[in-house]
Structure 1
Amino acid sequence: DTLTITAVNGDPDNLDQAISTSEGGTITVSADGSFDYTPPTDWTGDDEFDITISDAITSITVTIVIRVTS
């Protein structure tokens, strides 16, 4: 499955910006909703960030974990 980001902080105009992760990595969101992850320099382990999925009825927050091995 593909994760596509359609808004940052509830605003679709916030795409094309960087988001920090728990371990200091960076998620860079492109205007098309795709994203790139950059880990901290010389770091390995699990990094994570939260996303909230919403519709007109409800929302749920989940944690995305990225494992960096080398």
Structure 2
Amino acid sequence: MSSAAPRHEVIPSPDALRLARDGVVVAELLDPDEARWLQEEARNVRQGFMDSKRRAAFEEFLARQASLDGQ
């Protein structure tokens, strides 16, 4: 096993800035619009696996979180 420190590199791309460690992307800087879109898509996918009662409770939870963030 090698004791060498992990190799870090920045990978520029047209739509984001990525940081890789030993060839694996570990962080990505997105523009705010893309980050919001990605967050919405992830929420929609998670809700797709929930029954209707759980989905409604999750929506209520998210609404409360949004109102707390606005304070």
Say yes or no: TM over 0.5. Answer: no
* Structure with max Cα Rg: 2
Higher relative contact order (CA 8 A, sep 6+): 1
TM-score, normalising length from structure 2? 0.23
TM-score, normalising length from structure 1? 0.23
Decide which structure has greater helix share: 2
